[in-house]
């Protein structure tokens, strides 16, 4: 079934899968309507605000209360503002840092009104969450995207949504089903692949994930794919053998396709709050994390965790999930996020 060179290669990654891949290449979805980023931005901002409604109601109510209760920007004002930010899961360290800098802005810019202070807070938070200009260069390909995280955070769903979004931008995408341990994980990704109209590379249940990645890498190159998105098994950050498996996969990718761009995205569940922070720290010890995906932002009233993660880990939040729809995983825009959180609430019905 395999030639000698292929068997030799597979022996280097400890396991051979009997079935190199499963493909749904017969799927031919309708061509998507192309829109420009400028045309999409107002729609995406509205979707962001709607998706963050729980977070907005929680944070905006508290912020409105503080800014509406004071005429002077005194110590008592900052103490109440500190309490509201901590309640919103911004975290003690990040809150202290933000307020120290906000006090400096109030002093240096001679800010006196609460309205101007609120706008300054929005600008400051946006700067804390800045996304590099080249953050999305990997979308142009050729690139390999490794999606990692603990169980139950929405990795497989995110992979499917990302594949759909990139396919709609005209990219040729392949999905790799390297979660070979969770029951029905492969079937779930195959469904997403069919829905998005992209090929899916898969091994048998219980097979070595690294061997699935190996097959997917060579399929991506042979089929001239722009982007290979690799779904991986959920792993607890205290399971050393599973964490070490990520290092093995990383080495295989670097060895087989050294010329491809690399993107390692950790998926975090926003509803877990500060636990998400510790997960990101632990995973960063075994993987060079290049970006964060925050899922379930529509299900939490404490969306301030996005601010804490971006600020404390110095890793950009690149995508956020704000709903169940296939197009409800959005590129993260710090200014839009801060504006949705802190500005223009007093004259809105929320």
Residue ending a domain, choose from 91, 113, 128: 128
Determine contact, residues 124/102, Cβ cutoff 8 Å: yes
Q: How far is CA 49 from CA 53, 187, 244, in A?
A: 6, 33, 39
Say if 100 falls within a structural domain: yes
Whether the Cβ atoms of residue 273 and residue 305 lie closer than 8 Å to each other: yes
Tokens matching residue 149? 């995280």
- Give me the domain span that covers residue 163: 134-333
Q: Is residue 168 part of a domain?
A: yes
Which tokens go with 122? 């929005």
Q: Do 255 and 139 lie in a common domain?
A: yes
Count of domains for the chain: 2
Dihedrals phi, psi of 57, to nearest 5 degrees: -60, -40
In a domain, 319, yes or no: yes
Torsion angle (degrees, nearest 10) of CA 246, 252, 258, 260: -60
The pLDDT tens digits along the chain (350 residues) read 445 454 444 444 443 333 334 444 444 443 444 444 544 554 544 555 555 555 556 666 778 888 888 888 999 999 999 998 998 888 899 999 999 999 999 999 999 998 899 999 999 999 999 999 999 999 998 999 999 998 889 899 999 999 999 999 999 999 999 988 887 889 999 999 999 999 999 988 778 899 999 999 999 999 999 999 999 988 765 667 777 788 889 999 999 999 999 999 999 988 888 888 888 888 888 888 999 999 887 766 667 888 988 888 889 999 988 777 787 788 998 998 888 777 644 444 33
Look at residue 109 and tell me if it is in a domain: yes
In 85-142, at which residue ranges do the beta strands (DSSP E only) sit?
Answer: none
């Amino acid at each position: 079934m395999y030639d000698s060179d292929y068997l030799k290669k597979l022996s280097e990654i400890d396991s051979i899968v009997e079935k190199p891949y499963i493909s749904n290449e017969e799927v031919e979805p309708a061509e998507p309507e192309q829109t420009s980023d400028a045309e999409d931005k107002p729609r995406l901002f509205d979707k962001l605000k709607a998706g963050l409604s729980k977070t907005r109601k929680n944070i905006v109510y508290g912020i409105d209360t503080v800014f509406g209760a004071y005429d002077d920007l005194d110590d008592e004002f900052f103490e109440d503002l500190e309490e509201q930010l901590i309640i919103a899961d911004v975290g003690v360290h990040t809150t202290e840092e933000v307020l120290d800098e906000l006090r400096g802005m109030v002093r240096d810019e001679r800010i006196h009104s609460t309205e101007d202070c609120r706008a300054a807070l929005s600008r400051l938070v946006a700067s804390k969450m800045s996304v590099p200009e080249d953050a999305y260069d990997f979308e142009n390909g050729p690139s390999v995207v490794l999606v990692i995280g603990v169980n139950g955070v929405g990795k497989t769903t995110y992979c499917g949504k990302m594949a759909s979004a990139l396919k709609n931008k005209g990219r040729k995408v392949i999905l790799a089903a390297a979660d070979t341990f969770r029951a029905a994980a492969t079937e779930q990704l195959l469904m997403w692949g069919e829905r998005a109209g992209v090929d899916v590379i898969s091994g048998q249940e219980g097979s070595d994930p690294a061997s699935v990645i190996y097959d997917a890498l060579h399929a991506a190159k042979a089929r001239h794919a722009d982007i290979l998105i690799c779904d991986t098994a959920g792993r607890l950050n205290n399971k050393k053998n599973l964490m070490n498996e990520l290092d093995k996969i990383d080495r295989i990718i670097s060895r087989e396709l050294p010329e491809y761009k690399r993107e390692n995205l950790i998926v975090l569940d926003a509803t877990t709050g500060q636990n998400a922070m510790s997960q990101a720290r632990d995973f960063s010890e075994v993987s060079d994390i290049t970006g964060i995906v925050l899922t379930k932002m529509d299900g939490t009233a404490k969306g301030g965790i996005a601010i804490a993660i971006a600020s404390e880990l110095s890793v950009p939040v690149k995508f956020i999930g704000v709903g169940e729809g296939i197009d409800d995983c959005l590129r993260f825009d710090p200014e839009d996020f801060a504006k949705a959180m802190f500005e223009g609430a007093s004259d809105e019905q929320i």
